[in-house]
Amino acid sequence: MKLTRRRFLEASGALATAVSATAVSGRAAHASLPEAPIQKSPAMQPPLFPKEGPDYQPVVTLNGWTLPWRMNNGWKEFHLVAEPVEREIAPGMKGHLWGYNGQSPGPTIEAVEGDKVRIFVTNKLPEHTTIHWHGQILPCGMDGVGGITQPHIKPGKTFVYEFPLTKSGTFMYHPHADEMVQMAMGMMGFFVVHPKDPNFMRVDRDFVFLLNAFDIAPGTYVPKINTMLDFNMWCWNSRVFPGIDNLVINKGDRARIRFGNLTMTNHPIHMHGYDFEVTCTDGGWTKPGSRWPEVTVDCAVGQMRAFEFDAVHEGDWAIHCHKSHHTMNAMGHDVKTYIGVDKREVATKIRRLVDGYMPMGTAGMADMGEMEMPLPDNTLPMMTGFGQFGPIEMGGMLSVVKVRAGLERNDYKDPGWYKHPPGTVSYEWKGPNLTDATRVRQPESGMPTQVRVRARKPTGGHQH
């Protein structure tokens, strides 16, 4: 039986009336339960500025949004709904996942150090769940580990979590109930606590996203939940390139990029064109004396990292995981390697049976990025996307930091490709053919090729 979107949602009891995600309507201002806003668009939503309380620069969630809240007798109240969702992973492919309030990952929760938060969690999944507030210091009974700190939240039930925010920083939320299934299905979200002092660690632009991964076979929609390492969709916020939002920054801004890792392996995140400093982890802000310049920061499973830089260099700068397989989509792990194999004779024979057959992979895989080949339903090319100079030949965990002069303070719209000043783009050599250049041996350095070291016998004292 074909698994349609409607059957998937109905089977899980998730058909619900949509509520605007941009603001709480006010209808529930005096109700016992806050509204549960829902957002289904994969486009990055504008930052949600506080209407009351301490001032802060709100974060922007790549391909996501911030959950609205209401004040109730000194408590900042949020409402999360755990439910099946349909997520566009990139144009041309969707996944039937589990998440919160219409999306995977769920909406970002933003609050301020010292706030008292009350978070209602309603379960519309087909099984029980909980939520763990990763990195928060809170009462043990609010920690969200099913069976240890609380009973499980059964389908159709709502639980309440209440705790004061004792420190600012970068955190996340995810289940600790049937964890292998629920996180493999996409249940997670970001939690940002801003400093009580609005001038402490303040930046002009603050981006957040979670690293997650799925194994979704071509032609299918539901992730395989038992996969340990051989994932074929390496995602930022359940999106892959070219579906991941750009990080648009005004020239001269102080920018922060925060991310957390809920995959099954580590990710070295590398940004081109800049060096930066790691200023925050899920354990808190790093001390200035402990920081050093980096261009790549590794993020292990369950960790969060935030780095900062001054956006002084205009351009389109790639930011990506530096594991090469993590910048690919829909990878087949049993594909044979044909580099160096002469397929011309066998290709001629195959064309007699299959008109238009083209052998691929004998000189590398770049031709896959240049050609738009037929694909099964609901999958993506392994390498995809085109830039102003041709195929980008990447996928997965990749985006572009676009630094431009003259942007409005809260303008995050894609400014298009960077217009390089004349003479600043690598160009083709038009002089003599250098492929035929004379090859010479490296000159001798004058140093001996081998150094013999003679061990000296100890003369006394302790030997180790």
Among 214-218, 286-290, 309-313, 374-378, the minimum mean pLDDT is found in: 374-378
109-112: strand order across its sheet: 109-112, 189-194, 169-174, 132-134
Amino acid at 93: M
pLDDT of 394: 85
Cα 101 to chain centroid distance, Å, stands at 18
What does the DSSP assignment read for 252-309? T-EEEEEEEE-SSS-EEEEETT--BEEEEETTEEPPGGG---BSEEEE-TT-EEEEEE
Q: For 107, phi and psi rounded to 5 degrees? A: -65, 150
User: DSSP readout, 124-143?
Assistant: -SSS-B--EEET----GGGS
Distance CA 104, CA 187 (A): 6
Beta strand 116-123 with 75-90: parallel, antiparallel or unpaired?
parallel
In order of start, what are the domains of the chain with their CATH numbers?
5-321 (2.60.40.420)
pLDDT given for residue 356 in this prediction: 66
Predicted model pTM: 0.83
Write down the pLDDT at residue 8: 45
For residue range 169-212, list pLDDT tens digits in order: 999 999 999 999 999 999 999 999 999 999 999 999 999 999 99
The answer to whether 418 and 273 are in contact (CB under 8 A) is no
Phi and psi torsions of 365, nearest 5°: -110, 10
Structure confidence by residue, pLDDT tens digits, 23-69: 444 454 446 889 999 999 999 999 999 988 889 999 999 999 999 99
pLDDT in tens, 160-180: 999 999 999 999 999 999 999
Q: Which residues are 400's β-sheet partners?
A: 318
**Across 310-320, average pLDDT:** 98
The confidence score (pLDDT) of residue 247 equals: 98
pLDDT at 361: 57
What CA–CA distance (Å, rounded) separates 351 from 436?
Answer: 36
- Whether 214 contacts 228, CB under 8 Å: no
Residues forming a β-bridge with 401: 247, 317
Q: Which of 410, 251, 390 is nearest to 315 (CA)?
A: 251
Q: Which two tokens stand for residue 224?
A: 């395989």
Instruction: Calculate the alpha carbon distances from 329 to 103, 117, 377, 425 in Å.
Output: 21, 39, 14, 29
Q: What is the mean pLDDT of the chain?
A: 87
Q: What is the pLDDT of residue 243?
A: 95
In 3D, which of 279, 285, 222, 283 has the Cα closest to residue 89?
A: 222
* 75 vs 333, residue with greater confidence: 75
137-165 pLDDT, tens digit each: 999 999 999 999 999 999 999 999 999 99
Find the mean pLDDT for residues 304-313.
98
pLDDT digits (tens, 9 = 90+) for 1-29: 444 544 444 444 433 333 333 344 445 44
Please give the structure tokens belonging to residue 150. Answer: 């609380």
Q: For residue 24, which of 10, 7, 39 has the smallest C-alpha distance?
A: 39
Q: Which of 218-222, 389-393, 446-450 shows the lowest per-residue confidence on average (mean pLDDT)?
A: 446-450
Dihedral pair phi/psi, residue 350, rounded to 5°: -65, -35
Looking only at the bridges linking them, the beta strands covering 247-250 and 398-404 are parallel
pLDDT value of position 236: 97
Residue-level pLDDT at 13:
41
Across the strands, what pairs with 103? 100
Q: Of 50-64, 247-261, 431-445, where does the model show the most confidence?
A: 247-261
pLDDT of residue 354: 73
Q: Which residues contact 232 (CB under 8 A, 6 or more apart)?
A: 214, 215, 216, 217, 329, 330, 331, 332, 333
Strands, E, within 24-92: which ranges?
A: 60-61, 70-72, 75-90
Q: Is the pLDDT of residue 307 over 80?
A: yes
pLDDT above 60 (res 453): no
What would the pLDDT profile of 367-402 be if each residue is shown by its tens digit? 554 455 677 888 888 767 789 999 888 899 999 999
The mean per-residue pLDDT over the stretch 126-142 comes to: 98
Ranking 103-117, 146-160, 426-440 by mean pLDDT, the lowest is 426-440
**The pLDDT value given to residue 376:** 83
Nearest residue to 95 via CA among 227, 188, 209, 233: 233
